[in-house]
Structure formats: C-alpha cells, structure tokens
C-alpha cells in the first residue's frame, strides 16, 4: 500500500521512514513538509495539493506536533483517506473523539499509535501480570530534553505537553500491562518560570485493588536515561527497563529480548496499521492521554528555574 508521510522532522526521519522503507506492506509514495523531505520521494509543501493530486495514496501518516494535527487529520478523513496518528493522537481529547466520529462516518481506518506499547517486552509483562495481585507499581521516566528534542520550542507551548510528551509513553505501557484500570488522584507539576508546559511531574493513582501506583517524570536527566516500570505483586517483582525493551522477574532477565533499547516499535506499528486498513478497523485507545488531561486538571503547579536550550 502507498502511504504519504506528513511532517518530516526528527521522529519521521529516525523512525517512520526506516519502518516504512523496510516494510513488506508499505511504499513511501510522497511526503509533505515545509522544511524537509526524503531523497527520491515526491515532496509536497501543501497538504491540500497532495490530497487533490494523489488520489492513489489511500493512507496518510501524520508526524506533526499535536496542535496542528487535527486540521490535517480531519482533511484527510474528509478526503476519504485512512489516517495513522503519531502519539499523542491530538492536542485534546475532544479532537480525538471528533476524528473517530469522522472515521466511522466515512468507514475509514484510524489508528492512534502508542509506540512504547510495541517495545519488546510489553506483551510479556502484560501476560505475566494478568493473574497476579498488584501491591505496588512505580514509574521512573527521566530523560534529557536537550538530547531528544533539541531546539523544539513547540513542546513548551500550550498543547505541546512538556514532560508528558515522553511521560505519555510510560502511561501507554502502564495502561497496556495492568489488568485493571487506574485513575489519577493527585499530581504535582513543575513548570519552568519561562515556559508554558511542565518539565517534571509527580503522579499518584487509584488502583481498584488498593495497590500504590505512582509515576515520576523528569526532563532534566543528564547522563544515563531512565525508563523503568517496577511492579511488586503477590508472586514476585516485575521490572521493565529501557522503555519496555528489557524485562526481569525477581532479578532474572527474561529471554527473547531485543539487543538494543527501543528497537522494532515502529515496524510493529506500521504492521498493525496495514492490518487495520485491510480489515477496515479503528484503534483509538485514549487512556494514556486521559491520564495526562487529568494531571493538568488536578495538578498542583509549582514554579522552578527557567529552562534555556
């Protein structure tokens, strides 16, 4: 199938392009961007022109920042195209619900992707936890914003999510592996004095079985990056590290893991999108985004030192 990639930035070049070009399901037929492109692939600067001129391209993959994404996704759906959304799927929950309504009305496929759910050991962790009684779960997600989002000021503007841009990856794993749903009860959000979105967050959740569930996100980490989820149960302790790429139970590392952290996620996303298009399916799970919205609703705001690139 032919796919057009919209928004040729770091994530598109690092992850989407290699996943598409190595896939047996897809051909990268065009790109849309004001500033970038992919060698040998027809490039557009105007999305409306692509939709008008390339009726043969039935699938659009959107890698734009969250705030402008709704207009592009809505235009694509109204033009009868299937749509794949980079995480988070929109700037607001209402936008996402509106897009799902358009997709259902047009009998089109729509996929809100959560790439961290496709990390190597997430499925194994879900299976292991399925019959365990959870006592405690903690998330520690600390990384260096300068390394992963160099100079990207949009993440500090309203709708950019700040530290929840990576933090939502952790929430996507937690909501996938826990057999029972949780909901937020308290949050402390640290806002740099000169920015509109938080640089750190401390979250607490209600678990229906009474387990203690918490998460700490921080974008000021230097040196080694930390992407860890630890679940203490009645039958042992499960630890996911490297963003879900590695798993251990009671300190014993699980087998059949990827050698490098965070590999294979995007090829699996595109494989799933191919299956959704072939079956006419929709996958718009918004549970990770709902926790973020609740954090902004319940969060106690504290001001911290200004952030400068």
Which tens digits make up the pLDDT trace of 142-155?
A: 999 999 999 999 99
What does pTM read for this prediction? 0.94
CATH annotation of 120-257+293-304: 3.30.360.10
Share of the chain above pLDDT 70, in %: 97
Which tens digits make up the pLDDT trace of 296-309?
A: 999 999 999 999 99
Do 280 and 266 meet the contact criterion of CB atoms below 8 Å apart?
no
Average pLDDT of the segment spanning 43-60: 97
Do 60 and 47 meet the contact criterion of CB atoms below 8 Å apart?
no
Reply yes or no on whether the pLDDT at 65 is more than 70: yes
Please enumerate in sequence order all residues whose Cβ is within 8 A of that of 64, keeping only pairs 6 or more positions apart, or say none: 6, 7, 72, 86
Which tens digits make up the pLDDT trace of 73-88?
A: 999 999 999 999 999 9
What distance in Å separates the CA atoms of residue 266 and residue 185, rounded to the nearest whole number? Answer: 32
CATH annotation of 2-112: 3.40.50.720
* Helical residues (DSSP H) of 162-305, grouped into ranges: 164-177, 265-279, 287-298
| CA atoms within 13 Å, Cβ hemisphere of 182 | 32
Q: What is the pLDDT of residue 257?
A: 52
How confident is residue 226, by pLDDT bands cut at 50, 70 and 90? very high
Q: Are strands 236-241 and 246-249 parallel, antiparallel or unpaired?
A: antiparallel
- Residues catalogued as catalytic: 87
Q: Kindly report the average pLDDT of the chain as a whole number.
A: 96
Q: What is the location of CATH 3.30.360.10 in the chain?
A: 120-257+293-304
Do 140 and 226 meet the contact criterion of CB atoms below 8 Å apart?
yes
Which tens digits make up the pLDDT trace of 88-129?
A: 999 999 999 999 999 999 999 999 999 999 999 999 999 999
Q: What is the location of CATH 3.40.50.720 in the chain?
A: 2-112
Reply yes or no on whether the pLDDT at 261 is more than 90: no
How confident is residue 255, by pLDDT bands cut at 50, 70 and 90? confident
Q: What is the pLDDT of residue 104?
A: 98
What distance in Å separates the CA atoms of residue 120 and residue 260, rounded to the nearest whole number? Answer: 10
What distance in Å separates the CA atoms of residue 288 and residue 128, rounded to the nearest whole number? Answer: 21
């Amino acid at each position: 199938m032919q796919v057009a990639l919209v928004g040729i930035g770091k994530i598109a070049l690092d992850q989407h392009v290699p996943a598409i070009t190595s896939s047996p399901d897809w051909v990268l037929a065009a790109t849309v961007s004001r500033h970038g492109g992919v060698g040998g692939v027809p490039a557009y600067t105007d999305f409306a022109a692509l939709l008008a001129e390339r009726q043969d391209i039935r699938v659009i993959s959107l890698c734009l920042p969250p705030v402008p994404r709704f207009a592009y996704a809505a235009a694509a759906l109204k033009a009868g195209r299937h749509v794949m959304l980079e995480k988070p799927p929109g700037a607001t929950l209402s936008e996402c619900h509106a897009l799902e309504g358009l997709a259902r009305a047009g009998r089109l496929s729509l996929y809100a992707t959560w790439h961290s759910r496709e990390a190597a050991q997430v499925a194994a962790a879900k299976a292991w936890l399925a019959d365990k009684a959870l006592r405690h779960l903690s998330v520690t997600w600390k990384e260096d914003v300068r390394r992963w989002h160099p100079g990207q000021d949009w993440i500090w503007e309203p709708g950019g999510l700040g530290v929840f841009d990576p933090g939502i990856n952790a929430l996507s794993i937690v909501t996938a592996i826990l057999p029972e749903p949780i909901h937020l009860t308290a949050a402390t959000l640290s806002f740099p004095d000169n920015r509109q979105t938080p640089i750190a967050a401390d979250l607490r959740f209600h678990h229906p079985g009474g387990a203690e569930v918490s998460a700490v996100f921080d974008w000021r980490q230097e040196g080694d990056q930390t992407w860890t989820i630890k679940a203490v149960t009645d039958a042992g302790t499960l630890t996911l590290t490297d963003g879900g790429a590695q798993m251990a139970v009671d300190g014993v590392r699980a087998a059949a893991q990827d050698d490098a952290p965070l590999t294979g996620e995007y090829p699996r996303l595109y494989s799933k999108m191919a299956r959704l298009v072939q079956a006419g399916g929709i996958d718009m799970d918004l549970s990770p985004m709902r926790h973020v919205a609740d954090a902004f609703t319940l969060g106690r705001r504290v001001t911290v030192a200004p952030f400068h690139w």
